Chain A
Amino acid sequence: AQSVSQHNHHVILSEAASLELGCNYSYGGTVNLFWYVQYPGQHLQLLLKYFSGDPLVKGIKGFEAEFIKSKFSFNLRKPSVQWSDTAEYFCAVNGNTDKLIFGTGTRLQVFP
Protein backbone atom coordinates (compact mmCIF):
# COMPACT_ATOMS: atom_id res chain seq x y z
CA ALA A 1 0.00 0.00 0.00
CA GLN A 2 1.11 3.53 -0.67
CA SER A 3 2.10 5.73 2.23
CA VAL A 4 3.61 9.15 2.77
CA SER A 5 5.87 10.24 5.62
CA GLN A 6 6.51 13.82 6.61
CA HIS A 7 9.33 13.88 9.10
CA ASN A 8 8.85 17.35 10.52
CA HIS A 9 5.64 17.84 12.44
CA HIS A 10 6.27 21.37 13.61
CA VAL A 11 8.91 23.76 12.30
CA ILE A 12 9.65 27.18 13.75
CA LEU A 13 11.78 29.63 11.79
CA SER A 14 12.67 33.29 11.75
CA GLU A 15 12.01 35.35 8.65
CA ALA A 16 14.70 35.02 5.97
CA ALA A 17 15.72 31.55 7.17
CA SER A 18 15.84 28.75 4.63
CA LEU A 19 13.23 26.02 4.69
CA GLU A 20 13.30 22.37 3.80
CA LEU A 21 10.39 20.06 4.62
CA GLY A 22 10.91 16.36 4.15
CA CYS A 23 8.54 14.01 2.34
CA ASN A 24 9.12 10.34 1.62
CA TYR A 25 6.71 7.97 -0.02
CA SER A 26 6.45 4.26 -0.50
CA TYR A 27 5.29 3.07 -3.89
CA GLY A 28 7.29 1.15 -6.45
CA GLY A 29 5.67 2.38 -9.63
CA THR A 30 5.24 5.69 -11.41
CA VAL A 31 4.00 8.37 -9.05
CA ASN A 32 2.54 11.83 -9.18
CA LEU A 33 3.60 14.04 -6.28
CA PHE A 34 2.01 17.09 -4.74
CA TRP A 35 2.55 19.66 -2.06
CA TYR A 36 -0.56 21.39 -0.70
CA VAL A 37 -0.67 24.31 1.70
CA GLN A 38 -3.33 25.43 4.14
CA TYR A 39 -2.98 29.01 5.38
CA PRO A 40 -4.79 29.82 8.62
CA GLY A 41 -8.52 29.95 7.98
CA GLN A 42 -8.18 29.20 4.27
CA HIS A 43 -8.83 26.36 1.84
CA LEU A 44 -6.26 23.70 1.21
CA GLN A 45 -4.61 24.71 -2.07
CA LEU A 46 -2.02 23.35 -4.44
CA LEU A 47 1.53 24.64 -3.97
CA LEU A 48 3.22 22.57 -6.68
CA LYS A 49 3.09 19.19 -8.36
CA TYR A 50 5.32 16.77 -10.21
CA PHE A 51 4.04 14.43 -12.89
CA SER A 52 7.07 13.91 -15.15
CA GLY A 53 10.04 15.68 -16.71
CA ASP A 54 12.38 17.99 -14.80
CA PRO A 55 12.58 16.64 -11.25
CA LEU A 56 13.00 20.17 -9.87
CA VAL A 57 9.56 21.70 -9.77
CA LYS A 58 8.80 25.32 -9.06
CA GLY A 59 5.56 26.38 -7.46
CA ILE A 60 3.85 29.49 -6.22
CA LYS A 61 5.35 31.99 -3.79
CA GLY A 62 8.95 30.96 -4.41
CA PHE A 63 8.59 27.35 -3.30
CA GLU A 64 10.25 24.49 -5.12
CA ALA A 65 10.52 20.74 -4.65
CA GLU A 66 12.89 18.13 -5.94
CA PHE A 67 11.85 14.61 -6.86
CA ILE A 68 14.64 12.15 -6.11
CA LYS A 69 13.43 8.79 -7.36
CA SER A 70 16.24 6.78 -5.81
CA LYS A 71 15.40 8.17 -2.37
CA PHE A 72 11.60 8.09 -2.83
CA SER A 73 11.62 11.70 -1.73
CA PHE A 74 9.94 14.95 -2.71
CA ASN A 75 11.27 17.59 -0.32
CA LEU A 76 9.90 21.12 -0.31
CA ARG A 77 12.29 24.06 -0.17
CA LYS A 78 12.28 27.82 0.02
CA PRO A 79 15.49 29.85 0.27
CA SER A 80 14.05 32.62 2.44
CA VAL A 81 10.76 32.30 4.30
CA GLN A 82 8.38 35.12 5.15
CA TRP A 83 5.93 35.55 7.99
CA SER A 84 3.14 34.99 5.46
CA ASP A 85 4.42 31.44 4.86
CA THR A 86 3.05 30.43 8.25
CA ALA A 87 0.75 27.55 7.35
CA GLU A 88 0.36 23.80 7.37
CA TYR A 89 2.00 21.92 4.51
CA PHE A 90 0.91 18.54 3.22
CA CYS A 91 2.74 16.21 0.89
CA ALA A 92 0.61 13.83 -1.20
CA VAL A 93 1.23 11.04 -3.65
CA ASN A 94 -0.74 8.86 -5.99
CA GLY A 95 0.14 5.83 -8.04
CA ASN A 96 -2.19 4.56 -10.72
CA THR A 97 -5.46 5.72 -9.22
CA ASP A 98 -7.29 9.03 -8.83
CA LYS A 99 -6.87 8.88 -5.07
CA LEU A 100 -4.29 10.89 -3.20
CA ILE A 101 -2.50 9.65 -0.12
CA PHE A 102 -1.62 12.52 2.19
CA GLY A 103 1.09 12.82 4.78
CA THR A 104 0.29 13.92 8.30
CA GLY A 105 1.31 17.51 7.59
CA THR A 106 3.97 19.92 8.83
CA ARG A 107 3.00 23.01 10.73
CA LEU A 108 5.32 25.90 9.89
CA GLN A 109 5.51 28.97 12.08
CA VAL A 110 7.58 31.92 10.89
CA PHE A 111 8.38 34.68 13.32
CA PRO A 112 9.28 38.21 12.22
Chain B
Amino acid sequence: DVKVTQSSRYLVKRTGEKVFLECVQDMDHENMFWYRQDPGLGLRLIYFSYDVKMKEKGDIPEGYSVSREKKERFSLILESASTNQTSMYLCASSPRLAGADTQYFGPGTRLTVL
Protein backbone atom coordinates (compact mmCIF):
# COMPACT_ATOMS: atom_id res chain seq x y z
CA ASP B 1 0.00 0.00 0.00
CA VAL B 2 1.11 3.51 -0.77
CA LYS B 3 1.80 5.47 2.30
CA VAL B 4 1.94 9.24 2.47
CA THR B 5 2.78 10.67 5.85
CA GLN B 6 2.68 14.23 7.07
CA SER B 7 4.78 15.45 9.97
CA SER B 8 1.95 16.81 12.11
CA ARG B 9 -1.81 16.29 12.35
CA TYR B 10 -2.36 19.55 14.23
CA LEU B 11 -0.21 22.65 14.38
CA VAL B 12 -0.74 26.00 16.06
CA LYS B 13 1.49 28.91 15.09
CA ARG B 14 1.57 32.65 15.61
CA THR B 15 1.31 35.30 12.94
CA GLY B 16 4.69 35.99 11.36
CA GLU B 17 6.25 32.66 12.25
CA LYS B 18 7.96 30.55 9.61
CA VAL B 19 6.17 27.23 9.28
CA PHE B 20 7.40 23.99 7.74
CA LEU B 21 5.03 21.21 6.74
CA GLU B 22 6.72 17.97 5.79
CA CYS B 23 5.43 15.18 3.59
CA VAL B 24 7.03 11.81 2.88
CA GLN B 25 5.88 9.09 0.47
CA ASP B 26 7.23 5.57 0.26
CA MET B 27 6.23 4.50 -3.27
CA ASP B 28 8.95 6.14 -5.32
CA HIS B 29 6.41 8.44 -6.98
CA GLU B 30 7.71 11.19 -9.19
CA ASN B 31 4.85 13.61 -8.57
CA MET B 32 4.07 15.27 -5.29
CA PHE B 33 1.44 17.90 -4.51
CA TRP B 34 0.41 20.30 -1.79
CA TYR B 35 -3.22 21.35 -1.46
CA ARG B 36 -5.20 23.33 1.02
CA GLN B 37 -8.74 22.27 1.85
CA ASP B 38 -11.27 24.82 3.03
CA PRO B 39 -15.02 24.34 3.59
CA GLY B 40 -17.00 25.21 0.49
CA LEU B 41 -13.86 25.65 -1.61
CA GLY B 42 -12.77 22.05 -2.04
CA LEU B 43 -9.09 21.30 -2.64
CA ARG B 44 -6.94 23.99 -4.17
CA LEU B 45 -3.48 23.25 -5.48
CA ILE B 46 -0.68 25.30 -3.95
CA TYR B 47 2.44 23.78 -5.54
CA PHE B 48 3.48 20.56 -7.17
CA SER B 49 6.69 18.87 -8.15
CA TYR B 50 7.48 16.49 -10.99
CA ASP B 51 10.94 15.58 -9.82
CA VAL B 52 13.65 16.38 -7.33
CA LYS B 53 14.45 20.11 -7.25
CA MET B 54 11.62 20.81 -9.68
CA LYS B 55 8.53 22.73 -8.66
CA GLU B 56 5.65 24.46 -10.32
CA LYS B 57 3.08 26.87 -9.00
CA GLY B 58 -0.45 25.72 -8.59
CA ASP B 59 -3.53 27.88 -8.35
CA ILE B 60 -2.79 29.63 -5.03
CA PRO B 61 0.99 29.83 -4.48
CA GLU B 62 1.08 33.28 -2.88
CA GLY B 63 2.55 33.20 0.60
CA TYR B 64 3.97 29.71 0.17
CA SER B 65 7.14 28.09 -1.09
CA VAL B 66 8.23 24.47 -1.43
CA SER B 67 11.33 22.36 -1.34
CA ARG B 68 12.04 18.96 -2.84
CA GLU B 69 15.61 17.87 -2.15
CA LYS B 70 14.86 14.14 -2.15
CA LYS B 71 12.37 12.21 -4.24
CA GLU B 72 10.37 10.97 -1.27
CA ARG B 73 10.08 14.27 0.58
CA PHE B 74 8.17 17.44 -0.31
CA SER B 75 8.07 20.35 2.10
CA LEU B 76 5.66 23.27 2.18
CA ILE B 77 6.96 26.48 3.73
CA LEU B 78 4.96 29.42 4.98
CA GLU B 79 7.57 32.16 5.11
CA SER B 80 5.53 34.40 7.41
CA ALA B 81 2.33 32.79 8.56
CA SER B 82 -0.86 34.81 8.47
CA THR B 83 -4.31 34.13 9.88
CA ASN B 84 -5.76 33.59 6.40
CA GLN B 85 -3.47 30.57 6.06
CA THR B 86 -5.39 28.76 8.77
CA SER B 87 -6.53 25.67 6.91
CA MET B 88 -6.20 21.93 6.37
CA TYR B 89 -3.13 21.12 4.28
CA LEU B 90 -3.05 17.91 2.27
CA CYS B 91 -0.06 16.31 0.62
CA ALA B 92 -0.43 13.81 -2.22
CA SER B 93 1.77 11.78 -4.52
CA SER B 94 1.30 9.96 -7.81
CA PRO B 95 3.40 8.16 -10.39
CA ARG B 96 4.28 10.11 -13.49
CA LEU B 97 2.46 8.57 -16.39
CA ALA B 98 1.06 9.80 -19.65
CA GLY B 99 -1.87 11.55 -18.08
CA ALA B 100 -2.82 11.60 -14.43
CA ASP B 101 -3.07 8.52 -12.36
CA THR B 102 -4.55 8.18 -8.91
CA GLN B 103 -3.20 10.57 -6.34
CA TYR B 104 -2.56 9.17 -2.88
CA PHE B 105 -3.19 11.49 0.01
CA GLY B 106 -1.72 11.93 3.43
CA PRO B 107 -3.85 12.42 6.57
CA GLY B 108 -3.58 16.19 6.45
CA THR B 109 -2.20 18.84 8.77
CA ARG B 110 -4.69 21.18 10.37
CA LEU B 111 -2.84 24.46 10.80
CA THR B 112 -4.16 27.25 12.98
CA VAL B 113 -2.45 30.63 12.80
CA LEU B 114 -3.23 32.90 15.75
Minimum CB–CB distance from A14 to chain B (whole Å) comes to 24
C-alpha gap A6/B44 in the complex (Å): 15
Structural contact, A99 and B99, CB atoms closer than 8 A: no
Any B CB within 8 A of the CB of A70:
no
Known: A9-B40, A99-B58, A102-B42. A43 touches B103 (CB 8 A): no
A-facing mask of B1-39, CB < 8 A → 1, else 0?
000100000000000000000000000000101010000
Structural contact, A46 and B102, CB atoms closer than 8 A: yes
Contacting residues of chain A (76-112) with chain B, CB-CB under 8 angstroms: 90, 94, 96-100, 102-105
Determine chain A's interface SS by DSSP, over half rule: loop
Residues in B neighbouring A68, C-beta threshold 8 A: none
Any B CB within 8 A of the CB of A45:
yes
Interface size class of A (residues with CB under 8 A): 20 to 34
Minimum CB–CB distance from A98 to chain B (whole Å) comes to 5
A-facing mask of B52-94, CB < 8 A → 1, else 0?
0000001000000000000000000000000000000010101
Any B CB within 8 A of the CB of A32:
yes
Residues in A neighbouring B40, C-beta threshold 8 A: 9, 104-105
C-alpha gap A45/B92 in the complex (Å): 10
Contacting residues of chain A (36-95) with chain B, CB-CB under 8 angstroms: 36, 42-46, 49, 51, 90, 94
Instruction: Pick 9 A–B contacts, CB within 8 A, sort by A.
Output: A36-B105, A44-B43, A46-B102, A94-B100, A98-B31, A98-B50, A98-B97, A99-B33, A99-B48
5 smallest A-B Cβ distances: which pairs? A104-B42, A94-B100, A44-B105, A102-B43, A102-B42
Mark A residues whose CB is within 8 Å of B: 6, 9, 32, 34, 36, 42-46, 49, 51, 90, 94, 96-100, 102-105
